[in-house]
Structures are given as C-alpha cells and as structure tokens.
Structure 1
Amino acid sequence: MRAGGAMTAPRRPPLRRWPCRLGLALALAGLPPAVAAQHSPSIRFERLTQEQGLSQGTVNCLLQDRIGFLWLGTQDGLDRYDGYRFTVYKHDPQDPTSLPSSWISALALDPSGDFWIGTEGGGLARWHQASDSFTSYRHDPRDPSSLSSDRVRAVYVDRQGVLWAGTFDAGLNRLDPERGSFVRFRHRPDDKASLSDDRVRAIYEDRLGQLWVGTLGGLNRFDRGSGTFARYRHDPADVTSLSSDAVLALLEDHAGTLWVGTEKGLNRRLPGGAGFARYRHDPAQPASLSHDLVRVLFEDGERRLWIGTDRGLNLLEDAAAGIFAAYRQSPADPSSLSADRVMAIYQDRSGVMWIGTQGGGASKWNPRSWAFGHQRADPSRAESLSSNAVSAFAEDGEGRLWIGTLGGGLDLLDRSSGRVTVYRHRPGDPQSLSDDRVSSLLRDRQGSLWIGTFEGLDRLDPGARAFRHYRHDPRRPSSLSSNVVASLFEDRQGNLWVGTYGAGFNLLLRGSDAFRRFRHRPDDPTSLRNDQVLAFAEDDEALWIGTFEGLDRFDPESGTFQHLGELDAVFVLHRDDAGTLWIGTRSGLYRLTGIEASGAATFDRFGERDGLPNEVIWGIQPDDRGRLWLSTNKGLCRFEKQHGELRCFDVSHGLQSNEFNYGAHFRSRSGELFFGGVNGFNAFFPDAVGAHSAPPPVVVTSFTKLNNEVDFGRPLFAVDAITLDHRDYFFSFELAALDYAAPHKNRYRYMLEGLDHDWVDVGERRLLTFTNLDPGTYVLRAQGANSDGAWNEAGVAVRITITPPFWLTWWFKAAVLLSGLAGAALVHSLRTRSIRRNNERLKRLVEERTRELEEAQRQLLRRERLAVLGELAGSVAHEIRNPLGVMKNAIYYLRLTRTPLDPRTDKHLALIEKEIERSNEIITELLDYAREPSSRIAPFALQDAFERAAAAERTPPEVRVVRDYDPQPLIVAGDRGQIERLLANLIRNACQAMPQGGELRLACHRRGAEAVAVVADDGVGIAAEDLERIFEPLYSGKATGIGLGLALSRRYAEANGGRIECESALGEGATFRLILPLADRAPAAAPA
C-alpha cells in the first residue's frame, strides 16, 4: 500500500468505436526501465457527507446499535443511518427528552441495548431503544454527586455494565445506576495515587478487568479495590517510557498487548509491563507512521491494527519492523480517504469499516474487497504500474507477471518482492519496445515473450534485454500483414498465430521468421469472414477464429474457412475441459452446442435477461472448480456452467472498476486469475472470494398512509401492529436491510398474509405500497438479503387491521336485523295504505311518463325532420332549384315573345313567378340551416349592417319605418354577411306580422360592453306558449314556411359570439333584440 493512497487516472468517456476503446493513442516520452517496491493492497473508500444527508462534516464517533442501525456523532447532531438515508437527532430546548446538546463527542453501547452519548456542553445522555428518546445527566454545581462537567470527551461501559465518563477538564466519573448519581475521580496535586490529570481523553478495560484512563497528563491504571491510580508518564531520559503524556487513544489487541496513542506517536506496552515501544513518524521512512498525533486505535475482525492520525489512516503491517501502510486523502481521487484527520474508526457487524474524519464526513470500506487484489498506477509515486489502462498479461517461468498497458508500455511485476520494471518505447533505440500501446502478450513454450503492439510484433527472449521486432513490409509478402496486432495464440505444435486489426491473421511456423497470411477475399466464400481477428482457440481438427463479424472454423489442411452463425463481434474464445466452446461477444455469452450436417451451427445464449449485468464479454477464464469468470463493461461475473447461475461483482466488492478491457484476462499456473480494466487490474484466487453469510436485520423505517408519514409516538422498529380506518385506502411501508456493504444491492421480498399465497420478490425496491384492501386483518411479512444473497428469513412482521365502515360492523348488522323484525310487524297493517299510495304514485308516474314520451316523440319528430332536412338540402339545391330556374326563364321568354294575352294569363304568370321566388327562399333557408355556418371575422359598424339589411328587404308601403341609431358607430367583429341576413330575416318577419300595415322600429344602441340591435313591430304578436319555441328548428307559427328563419338567426347570433332575445304578447307586437360584444371584447372566432 502506498502512502497517500493510489490516485485514479482521469476517467475518459466511453468511445463509440471499439478499436479506439481497445487501443489508446498516447504520445508519451520514453523512459528507461524503472524499479519499484511492492505496496499493500489499495483501498477504495465510499464517502458519506452532507450531500448524502449527514448533519455535519466532522464525525467524532460511530456505533452500531443492537437493532443494526449505524449511529454517527457529529458536531451538529446525532445521525442514525439505515444504509439509505439519515435520521438526525438534535437538541430541542422545548423537548426535555431530546439530546442535551447537538455536539456529540463519544458513544458507548450499554448491555441493555440502549447506548450512552457524551456531548460537548450538554453533559451525558442515554438513548432509550424502547422509546427512541433521551435522558440527560448534567453537571449541577450544587450537587457533588452530579456529573463533574458537561463537557464529556470519553464514555465507556465495562464488562460489569458500569458507565465511565471522562470530561474535558473535570476528571473521571462513574455512574451508580441505582441512584442515578456519579462518583468523581479527580486529580489532586498532593496525592500521587490520584488521577494524573483531570483532562480525560480515553478509557479502556483490558482482559484482566483493569481500567486504563488516558489523560493529557499521562496514562493511569485504576485499582478498583483501593480506588487509586498507578501513573505512566513520559520520561525524556527513558526511551521505554511513553512518548508523550498526552494520551488520546487506548486499545488492547487480541494478544493482550496494550496500545497507547499520544500526541507524539504510538506506543506498545512491552510484555510484563517493562515499558513501551515507540512508533514515530520519520520523514525519511515512507513506511513509518504517517503522523505522530494518534487520535484513535482499532483492531478489526481480522486482527489488523488500525491507527487514526492527523495525517491519514494507518495500518500496522509489521510491529517488529515498525512498518505501516498509510491511506491519505487525495483531492484527485474520489475513492481516497475523505479527509486526513481521522477522528473515529469502527467496524460494523457486516464487516464494513467506517472512518470518521474532521470535515470530510465518514468513509466506508468493505475489507472483503481485498480478496480481489486491486493494483493500480499512482502517478505521484515511481513504484507503481506505468498506466491504469491494462490490456494484457503473461507469466514467465519464475512466476513474474508481465503486464501490458495502453500507453504506459510493458511492466514486469516480481510478485515475491513487489518490484516493478517498466519497459517503454524509446525513439531512436531499435532495441526498445516497438510501441507503448501493448495490445496482447504471450509466453511461448520456449520461454520467449511475444508482445503485440500498435506498431508491430516484438519478441523478448529469456535473459535478453533487447526486443526483436517483426513489422509489416509492403515489399515482403512473408512479413507481418499489419503492424496493428490484436491477438496472439500458440497452437499445440508451437506455431504462433497473430491476429491483426484489419489485415487478417498470420501464421509463424515454429523456428521460422516468415509469416503466412490469411485474409478476407470478397469473391471467395471460403476465405476469412472478416479481417479484424480478435481471438483464437483450437481443437483436434481445426482452429477457431473470432472476428469482428462473427465466428469462423479454419481447416489447416484445406486452408478454407467455415462461417458459423451470425454472431456479433467475437472478443474471446475458450474451450473448457469438456471440449465445449464458449464465445464472448458484444451481445452476450454463447455456448456452441453443435454443427449440423448442413454446416449450420447451434448456440445457447446468455444475456442480461439471464443475469449478466452487461452483454459485452471481454474475457473468459476458468477456475479450478470449472466455473467461468467473465469480464464485462459492468463488472465481473462468476458463471456456473451446469445450472447457468451467475454471481456478479462490481466496484463495491473491490473491482478496479466496473469497466474491463479487451484481452486483459489471464490465469496463472497457480490458478490465480487476473483481469485488467481502466483503473488497473485485479488479481485473486477464486476460492478466496467469499460472501458475508450473516443475514442482515430487517426493519421498517417509514410508514405512510395517504402519502402522509405516520408518527406512532414510539420507534417504528418497535411497532408490530397497525390499525387503519377503511378510508385509509392507500398506505406504504419502507424497509431497510441493515447490511452496509452495498446497500443499493440489498434485496427484498414480502408476503401479505390474507392476500398473498407466496412471497413476492421486489428485488432492490424497498417501498411496499398497498391500495384498496378490504377490511380485515392481514400480516405483512418482509425479508431482506444482503448484497451477497444471505436472506434473513425471520425478517419482520407487522399485523395490519383495517376497520370496516359502520354499515359493515356486527352491531350495525344486528341493529338492521332488529329493525327489520320490528318493521315486519307493521307491514300487514300498512299494506293497504301502501298499495293505495303506490297506485297513486304509479298513476302519477304513468302520467309523467306519458308526458315525457309525448315530448320525446315531438323531439324525435323534430330530429327526424332535421335529419331529412340535412340529407335533402343538398339534393334540393340541384334537383329543385335548377327546374325553378328553368321555369323562371321560360316565363321571361314567354313575356318577351308573347302576343297580347288576356289578363287571366298575365295573372297566372305573375302567380307562378311569386311561387318560384317563395320556393327559392325556402331552399335558401334549407341550405343555410343545413350547412355549418362559417365565420369570416372582420370589424364593421352595426348601423351600416342594419341599413344594408333594411335596404335588402323592401318594406311594404303600408309599413312605416322608424330608425333610432346611436350617433357613434357601434363597431363589432363578426361575419357581416351573417349579421345582415339575420337582421333582414327579423325585418321580413316583422313586416309579415303587420299585413294591414303598422310601425316598424329599427334601433341600435350601446349597453355596457355590448351593442344591441332592436327590430320591433306592432303586429299580431306571439302567444306565450309559442314564445319559448320560436327559435327551435322546424317550428313555425305561420301557415306557410318551414320554421327555419329564427332558428337560423339564433345560429348566426351565437356563431358571432352574441345572442338573440324576444319579447311579445298576443296583440301587442313583438320586439327582437340582437346583442353582440363590441369589437374590443369580440371573440376571434366564435364556435358554430
């Protein structure tokens, strides 16, 4: 492990074209071979900060309660974390059961399941699991049995369940739980057996039951029997004394060794109490402690000692040699420690390590990720890989690992010493590597290393330091067909096969320097399918070729190719021990199941529907159990061939990245697997990749009904029964499986007893919503699994009672039954009266129904007339109007050519002309009503429209016309033609209502925002019973006509955003009013 943490290379966006993805074009200056030392495994931290809901950026302490929640104490709140979100507890001056202070300095679990909280300025608090509330213990200057100070810096519960509290500057306190009072232990200058200093920072009980107290004035061992302290102080003259009196952290490891963290380094108590061994920061020793100020000590489940300092997290690797691995914050690396000042270290029950920092929130890391052995480049250190873009692997006879990179050249890693030698291309040096972009590696049976690059093929013989080059020469047909090498393969005879990007593949016979080329020929169906050759495999009879356009089978005897199936780009081929061919492609994993006599191949396919996280398969490697490991663009998968079962891993399990590279996969002679990607590579033994088999606790974290969260007045995790009203038709439960390794991959299933008959698997969804359940009693059972698939089958259960509405309750049904029995006694006596009333009611109903039927019949007749009108209107125009026109013309010519006729003939011709005009008028009305009115909106003066309508309708001489117009033009917006026809129709009707003559009044005036046109006559008037129907279509109060004039007038009025009104009585004339909006209020286009 390198000090300062490993830095991640900047992530490039994914490229569309795969050749660019497989080969990074980098222009890097050549470097001579470099040698470096091995580092401990790197750590990829995940961060929890205020962006994720943390109350404040400094995490002073951490604790997991008995339920499984993780608690983080910050300087502005106590945060409960369930893996998905935070619930923050703070001091509330109005609530005596809240925290006494929001600044949390220490946490300690109590055997009862409660825990203790030390605060800055608020004293001590106890969290009660049963009520989710707090009890405060404060300093009272008048009470010597109260807490000695409200500034609590350390809390500890010993094996007897006794609570100890260390204060900032007022000594040590022991709580008497029965009395709720404290016994104080203070420093007394005149008593050497007293506490050495009142500034207590650490408390710890060792396996012998001895209580150790760290202060800023030395280390103390407490004798419970005598109540006295033995002091351990720094002595400048004694190198085995403490390195400093300022003791900040204490820990006893699994071997019983006491470790002491101080402001000036780490101390280990020597066997037999013979003093202390010191560990200090040494700038000249990178493997020394990273900083002398040690704030926290922790031993994890694997007995590793972790040290939190002011300059990062340290892991003790070798106590005898004083070697530490340091993990620091790196601003360029989001997976590094979130901040350098470490305030707290904790390991939860799922094994996840939590690091509290000052200002950076919390960092978490799953130690199981170390099983994947991640190594990557660190640009800040010479002793690292040359590049994170790893493209190929090979192993030499000494067990050393060759690593090809895309842009960093060729690395040689000595696994035993950890030393790295880097080979780069040096311009002008013909013995150096051809190119820093290495695409493939192969060590042949002679021990030579073959290196495929983007500038040719190189060979490095055992013991040699110079590379031999094989390059394309257009003048030599026996040279390499292309310098861009994609793949290398050695067959059983020791021949070398070289695949290229775009120039087919080449065969180099063993002991020869001449290549034989195989290319795609468009005119030869037995030639290679495609010239981009990415993979090789062989069986007893043939060579299998993976190309960018699919799979070929090559017969070396005949030199012909058989094209098998229509697979996508083939990136990798693998023949297992059973002889089955596995094909990794751009569209999933394929298994060749057979080749028919016709030459057609059959395959089994495995894709995302079968559990693959991604269908681009870059690499396939078998393990000792016959399982296949597949590298993809979204992680690494372990495939059980027999049952097709998949278990997938991602970056949260320790992978270098979720994205791997083509060709970067290898299995060593020892069975170790290597997979490279965009952030270094992983090296692991498959059997070491374990799973956390402990099932996680499952809790309900939220309950809402009708989208409102419900407060039960007690912790939701303690609620096992809920009663709902029948009106609560929509409610939801939110679950959390309290395993923090990869919460986003925890899974859930549930069964609602009373509704479901089997478990419903909801995957990673943890919100369960129920709607419209019938009244009754149900039991919701929910189970959760961690990211490794360990299910908590006990889960959580909540009884749900939905109360019925009152009309479905038993007492209501009983009341109804009793009422029915009582009412039955009255039935007989009321029968006759009821029948009479029913008969009367039926009679009224019959009469009402008869009236309704009559009205319906009238409406039906009217609709039928309208329907007939609509159908006949068009025909009438052509079938009747045309003959009428002919008749009119005939009369005209008769009068032109006639000889003087008798008066009776003239009278009959005039009568015919009159009836022709009347027929035309009726046809016009029919056509106007039958068609939808179309509005041509334009502004115009209503007075002008009135005058044009009056001029169009010649009033009889016996009718006197009186005009009363507003002197100001009344501008309206509408279809002027429709309005003029409407007014003309009203004028015509008025004149027809006065056959003996009378007065016709035409008026036009403003009324508010409306213009009113009035047509009034003093004719016969309209009966009251007809007044409501005059605007109905086909209704006419006259002996002649079909009753469309006023109906059409109302349609015109409404089409122009107006209305028409009528006032009349028999013998008193009639007044029609057309009301239109003035132009500034008129609609742009009124609906028809």
Structure 2
Amino acid sequence: MSAMIDSRRRWRLRRGALGALATLVIALRAPLAAADQPPRAERFSFRRLGTADGLPGDSVYCMLQDGSGYLWLGTFSGLARYDGSRIVVYRPVPGDPESLPSSLVFDIHEDSSGTLWIATDGGGLARYSRDSDAFKRFTHDADQANSLASDRIFAVADDTYGWIWVGTADAGLDRLDVVNGTFAHYGAASGLPSDTVRALLCDGDGGLWVGTTAGLARYDRDGDAFTAVASIGTVTVRALASDDDGAVLVGTEGKGAFRLDASSLGASPLMLGTGSGRLLVRALAKDDYGRIWAGLDDGGLRILDPGSGALASVRTDAESPGGLSHDAVRSLLVDRSGLVWVGTRGGGAAAYNPRSKAIARLAPEGGLPPFEIRQILEASDGALWVCTDGGGLVRASARGEINVFAHDESDAASIPGDRVICVAEDRDGRVWVGTDGAGLARLDPSTGGFERFARNPATEDSLGGDTVWALLVDETGVLWVGLEGGGLDRFDDETGGFAHHRPIHGDEGSLSGNSVRALLQDSRGRMWVGLWDGGLTLWDPAAGKAIARFKPSSDADSLADASITCLLEDGSGRIWAGTGGSGIDRVVEVGGDIRFAHLSMADGLAGNDIVGALEDGRVAVLLHV
C-alpha cells in the first residue's frame, strides 16, 4: 500500500497505486492510555524474524534492546544484533580470544554505563566493546579463587551500586567487581536456596532478586547475604519482571506465576486461565497497556489484563502465517516503541504491535465501497473519513460502523460526486471534501447534508476549478484549496467566496504553477505549496503571496523535479518534498538560504516516483509506486 500521513492524521493514496482495492485494514491509532477500553476482538498478528532473515538460529532464549536502539537476540547458534533491516551475527571463532566464547547464549544485559554483558553456557561471561566490536571473556580458572565460579552462566544483571551479578548453572551466584575484574561467590552458606540460578532482577528500588531451582531469594545488602522468600516456596523460578508499582512478577516451573509485594513479601497467583496453577512460565513482560504477558514452556502465550481480569491465549496456528511462530516461548521483550517481541525455541522471534488492538478490518462485505482509496483522515472524534474513487465518501466510526455518502442526482444536499480525492476537517468539526470534477463540498455532520461549491465563470469569487487535489485548514482556521489547473484558492467563511492565487508571468510573488498537489503548513507557520507543474512555492498565508519559488536548475542543490507529489515536516522540523520521478528532496536552510538535498534510487530508494512520506517516530519512511 502506498500512503502518506501528515500531522493532521491524513493519509493519501495515489490514484492507480492500489488497483481495485477491495479491503482496507486501518490502524485507528488509539492512545496507549486507553488500555481500559479493550477491543471487541483482538487479532494477534506477528512479524516473524528467523534464520531466513539472517538469525544464526531459530531458538531465541533472550532478547535486549540496548541504549542505541539495537535489538540483541541470544540463540543456541550465536548472538545477533538487529537494526530493523540488517542482522549482524557473532559466533565463536577458533583462535580468536576476542570472539564470542560460546554459541549458547542464555542472557543479555546492558548495565547502567551502557556496557553489554553476555551470559553463555560453557563459555562463561563476555563483555562486549562497541568501540572494538569485540568481546572480553571472563571464565573459570581452578587456580584462581576469585575467578568466575563456573563457565555455565544462565543470568546476568547489575545493581544500583555498579556490581555485576552472574547466575551460574551449578556454582551459585557471583558478584563481579568491574574495576579489578574479580568475583565474589555466594552459595548455600550465604542463604542462597540453590546453586542453580535461573533468573535475576534488580528492581527500581535497587533490590536484587534471585530465582533458583529451589525458590526465590532477596539480597540483604547490610548482611551481604540472601533471604529466601517463603511465599513462593521451593519451586523453580524461571522468570522475573518488575511491575509498575514496585511489585515483582515471578514465573515458576509448574506452579504458574505470582505477583509478589516487595515490602510484605506476600505473593498472590496470577489468574492465567486453564491450568493456571500448573503452568511452566518461562518468560514475563508487561506491555504499554499494562497487560502481563506470560510465555509458557510449550503452551504459547497467556496475556492478562490485571485491571479487568480479561485473558487472551495465543497459540501457534499452522493456517495463519502471521500467527505466533512457535508455542515454546523462551523470552519476552517490550521495546521502547511498544512492540512486544516473543523469542521461541524453534520458531525464531516474532514481534507484535499492541496498537493493533485498535485495528478494524473494513471490507466490501461490511459496507466499504469496492473502489480505490485516495485519502484517509482521522477526525477529532476518532472517526475515519475515507475518500474513494467512485464510491463516494465513507465514515468509519471508532467501532467500525460504516456510513457511505454517495452522490444522488435527485438530492441537492448529497455529495456532488463519487470520485473523492481529499478531505479535511475545520475547527468547527465540519468536513470538507474535494472531488475529481465535481468541485468542493462541505458536510454538516449534524444534518448529513452537503453544501456544494463549484466553478462558475460568471462569478468572480466562485471556486477556481472543479478538480480539488489538496485541502489545508491552516493554524488560523482558514481553508486553502489546491486545484488542478486552477491554482490555489482561499475560502472566506464570512462571504462564502474564494480568493484566487495563480501564477502571473514575471511576478515572483505569485504561485510557480497552476496545479496544486500538496499543501503543508510547517511548525513556523509557513505554508508550502507543492505543484504538479511548477515545483515548490513557499507561501505567506497572511500576505497571500510567495516568499520564494523553487524549480529545477543547473545547480546541483536546486529542486530535483518540477513535479511535487507530497510534503512532510518531520519531528526535527525538516521539510521533505516527494517528486513524481526524481526521488525525494529535503529542504536545507542555512543562513536564510534554501537549498535541497536529494535522495533517489542511486542512494538506495526502491523507486523515484514518491507517492507519500511518513515519519514512524524514528526515521522518515518513504513509500512509492
């Protein structure tokens, strides 16, 4: 799908880009705070990441997003670093002491200084250096009492005092002094319930929790010893996670999961559905909606909303290629964008977007006209307005209810034409609709009727043309209308007439072309006008004249193309202009001078015909046909 979205939540789909579109899947983009309003039916669709994508192995036992945003995945075939498009793999290299010491990676941890620590089974502990892209190994040495107690490491964490804690498979818990590289050892004599440490957690208050094969223990810093948590019992603790209020979530082997009060040490079971008290919980996480995710040994996922008690169970479905990749869940991670990553044994990793809770599927069988979609607008009331090329205007409520506004020759208050190109909402909640050949219309939501505006050569202040390609309500509430062949019109709400702005030969204060395809008001209040036949005009909306006009020239840093298709201001205030055949340009302003930096297929774009530009929160995403 080729689309664009601007700061007013407007998507534009270029004519011809979709063919005969029969189904529309729309993210309503509900805020994360709306966790107390779950959807009627949530569809868990995952984006999978496996060996076919470059992972070294399909058993993902641990995951971490580091401070730079990279996703690290520990597998039984090496360590992977993922940047969203490319995977870099680290494995042991014979004869290279700075390579990863073992392919069996059980845990990854980033400490407060930004250093990465890798827990391996058989290779000890490794510290990763970003500067050298190499590993320093910490291993057991029988001749050194202060070396690592065992090379079989299951867990690693750091506390607020800068200590690195290392949980071993068979030699208790170690504490690393990073300054001198020595380890202190803790075992049964220190109150540890077992010498096999499966999970570690340093909570927000600095408390250290240790999950072992014989129960849970908390570190007493004053006594430099551990105290067993009686409420959890002597069960094997497989997973630990922090809850929002300082409580600790505890996943066990065969006893389900608990919520532990960090002050009273009282534990209450999490109600995870069928067999809740017998589940083997291998991983725990809490998403941005406040829901608790429990990864089961061979039973997929259980997802609990603590507030409502609502529970979802997610299992692998061979008939659903977008479903969970495997039922054997080994790790969970909620990244900073809110995506939930699920690491499995045998199925690689899979990412789920909780925002898809608010996704509704709109299709012809539900009332959506079976025509191409030109633009989508999310209105102030949460409804979606969908422009179709031949099916009129569609309103989809937040609940997915569809209402179609179609042209009716016998009804003067109906929409003037069914080929709808663009839509905008003004300050009063009125919806403006631009059509292909039938002019402009304004919908009164209270009556459902349209007031029509069309070109009338006998009336000077009538609409300047009947094909409306772009609409913009500026920061003062004024409506601007971009026309095919008719320039730019400004609507006067008091008189109901239009002021026309067209190119005038020799007048640098006029528009640079007749066909307006894109309109944008930037964060500085300036208005940018993208023209199909005249490049780009920087417009002063108050004065009603051009500040500057830009077209291609022999200068390398001039505008790349005279045909502008879309405009975007990103989160850093940079202006991007998509073109009809020369890629996308970024406006560069230095000392009041405006030049352009170019991106095209030569720089890695998949195509030079840019339909739309969308910022996803981290980078600008370009879409083309």
The question of whether the paired residues in 2 share the 8 Å contact of 1:108 and 1:156 is answered with yes
SS state of the match for residue 58, structure 2? coil
| Residue 103 (structure 2) pairs with residue 102 (structure 1) | yes
Q: Is the 8 A contact 1:269 1:276 kept in 2?
A: yes
- 1:229 to 1:21, Cα distance in 2 relative to 1, 3 A: same
User: Alpha-carbon deviations, 1:415-453, whole Å to 9, x = none?
Assistant: xxx54432147999x999999864344668997656567
Q: Deviations over 1:327-363 (max 9, x none)?
A: 9999999999987846253769xx8989462356567
2:406 pairs with 1:406: no
Shift, 1:201, TM fit: 1.9
Q: Classify 1:135/1:151 alpha carbon distance in 2 versus 1 (closer, same or farther; 3 Å).
A: closer
Q: For 1:263-412, what aligned pairs fall within 5 Å after superposition? A: 267-270=258-261, 272-273=263-264, 275-281=266-272, 295-297=282-284, 307=293, 309=295, 320-321=307-308, 341=329, 343-345=331-333, 355=341, 357-358=343-344, 378=361, 389=373, 391-393=375-377, 395=379, 399=381, 401-406=383-388, 412=395
Matched, 1:604 2:602: no
Query: Hey, what does 1:124 align to over in structure 2?
Result: 124
How far apart are 1:73 and its partner, in Å? 2.6
How far apart in 1 are the matches of 2:187 and 2:136? 26
Deviation at 1:104, TM superposition (A): 1.2
Please tell me the residue identity of whatever aligns with 1:534.
W
Listed one character per residue, the Cα deviations across residues 28-85 of structure 1 (whole Å, up to 9, x for unaligned) are: 89xxxx9x99574999998765456442233333468899987543211234678966
More strand by share: 2
Deviation, 1:660, is: 8.6
Q: Which residue of the partner structure matches residue 516 of structure 2?
A: 570
1:250 aligns with 2:240: yes
1:192-231 residue pairs with structure 2 within 5 A?
195-196=192-193, 200-206=197-203, 210-223=207-220, 225=223, 227-231=225-229
Q: Distance in 2 between matches of 1:621 and 1:217?
A: 57
Report if the CA contact (8 A) 2:435-2:466 is conserved.
no
Aligned to 2:453: 497
Between the aligned partners of 1:532 and 1:258, the Cα distance in structure 2 is: 61
Deviation of 1:574 after TM superposition, in Å, equals 7.2
Structure 1 residue runs of 5 or longer lacking an equivalent are 1-8, 12-17, 188-192, 236-243, 284-288, 470-494, 499-504, 510-515, 519-527, 595-600, 651-657, 662-676, 690-740, 746-1088
One-letter code aligned to 1:156: A
Sequence identity of aligned pairs in percent? 28
Say whether 1:551 aligns with 2:487.
Answer: yes
* Cα drift, residue 567 of structure 1: 3.0
Aligned-residue offset at 1:109: 5.4
Q: Which residue of 2 aligns with 1:950?
A: none
**Distance in 1 of aligned mates of 2:70 and 2:609:** 33
* Alignment partner, residue 77 of structure 2: 76
The answer to whether the aligner puts 1:590 opposite 2:549 as a matched pair is: no
2:526–2:538 contact (8 Å) kept in structure 1: yes
- 2:174 corresponds in structure 1 to 174
AA at the equivalent of 1:86: V
Secondary structure, aligned partner of 2:16: helix
8 A contact 1:214–1:220 mirrored in 2 = yes
The residue identity in structure 2 corresponding to 1:422 is: I
CA distance in 1, matches of 2:135, 2:426: 70
Give the whole-Å Cα distance in 2 for the aligned partners of 1:174 and 1:231: 20
How much has 1:403 moved relative to structure 2? 1.3
Equivalent position of 1:990 in the other structure: none
Could you say which residue in structure 2 is the equivalent of 1:185?
187
Change (3 A) 1:603 1:450: closer
Structure 1 residue 185 displacement after superposition: 2.7
Any idea what SS the aligned residue of 2:249 has? strand
Correspondence for 1:423 = 403
Is the CA contact 1:586–1:615 (under 8 Å) kept in the aligned structure 2? yes
Label 1:421 to 1:90 Cα distance change in 2 as closer, same or farther (>3 A). Answer: same
Cα distance, 1:604 vs. partner? 0.8
Question: Aligned partners of 1:277 and 1:355: how far apart in 2?
Answer: 26
1:233, 1:383 → 2: CA distance? Answer: 52
In 2, Cα distance between equivalents of 1:393 and 1:319: 34
Q: Please state whether the residue corresponding to 2:550 is helix, strand or coil.
A: strand
User: In the TM superposition, what whole-angstrom CA distance separates every residue of 1:1005-1024 from its partner, at most 9, and x where no partner exists?
Assistant: xxxxxxxxxxxxxxxxxxxx
Displacement after TM superposition at 1:393 (Å): 3.5
- Report the structure, 1 or 2, having the larger helix content: 1
Report the counterpart of residue 139 of structure 2 in structure 1. Answer: 137
SS at structure 2 position matched to 1:102: coil
1:779 counterpart residue number: none
**Structure 2: 5+ residue stretches without partners:** 4-12, 35-42, 506-511, 601-607
Q: Which amino acid aligns with 1:403?
A: W
1:214–1:249 contact (8 Å) kept in structure 2:
yes
Measured against aligned partners, the alpha-carbon deviations of 1:534-560 in whole angstroms (never above 9, x if no partner) come to: 358999xxx998554463889999999
Aligned partner of residue 21 in structure 1, secondary structure: coil
Relative distance call for 1:220 and 1:228 in structure 2 (3 A) is closer
Pairwise CA distance, 1:299: 7.8
Query: Quick one: distance in 2 between partners of 1:27 and 1:131?
Result: 49
d(CA) in 1 for partners of 2:353, 2:585: 17
Q: 1:586 Cα deviation (Å)? A: 2.6
Normalising by structure 2, we get a TM-score of 0.59
The answer to whether structure 1 residue 165 and structure 2 residue 162 are counterparts is no
Residues 354 and 602 from structure 1, CA distance in 2 versus in 1: closer, same or farther, beyond 3 angstroms? closer
Code of the residue aligned with 1:260 in structure 2: it is: V
**1:1019-1066 CA distances to partner (integer Å, 9 max, x unpaired)?**
xxxxxxxxxxxxxxxxxxxxxxxxxxxxxxxxxxxxxxxxxxxxxxxx
1:202 deviates by 0.6
Distance in 2 separating the partners of 1:260 and 1:452 = 57
Offset, 1:364 = 8.3
User: How far, CA to CA, are the matches of 1:559 and 1:332 in structure 2?
Assistant: 58
**Cα deviation 1:117-137 (Å, max 9, x = unaligned):** 4323x1523447589455463
* Paired residues, number: 551
CA 557–331 in structure 1, closer or farther in 2 if over 3 Å, else same:
same
Structure 1 residues 586 and 204, CA gap change in structure 2 (3 angstroms) = same
Letter in 2 for 1:393: L
Change (3 A) 1:383 1:576: same
Work out whether residues 23 and 362 of structure 2, in 8 Å CA contact, stay in contact via their aligned partners in 1. Answer: no
Higher relative contact order (CA 8 A, sep 6+): 2
AA at the equivalent of 2:532:
R
Alpha-carbon separation, structure 2, partners of 1:578 and 1:117: 47
Matches of 2:29 and 2:523, distance apart in 1? 38
Distance in structure 2 (CA, Å) of the matches to 1:606 and 1:329: 55
Distance in 2 between the 1:545 and 1:104 partners?
59
Counterparts in 2 of 1:384 and 1:744: CA distance versus 1, 3 Å? same
State which structure, 1 or 2, has the greater radius of gyration over its C-alpha atoms: 1
Which of 70-79 and 320-329 deviates more?
Answer: 320-329
Please tell me the root mean square deviation across aligned C-alpha atoms, in Å.
7.1
> Partners of 1:615 and 1:329 in 2: how far apart?
51
Query: Contact 1:251/1:297 (CA < 8 Å) preserved in 2?
Result: yes
* Partner SS state of residue 273, structure 1: coil
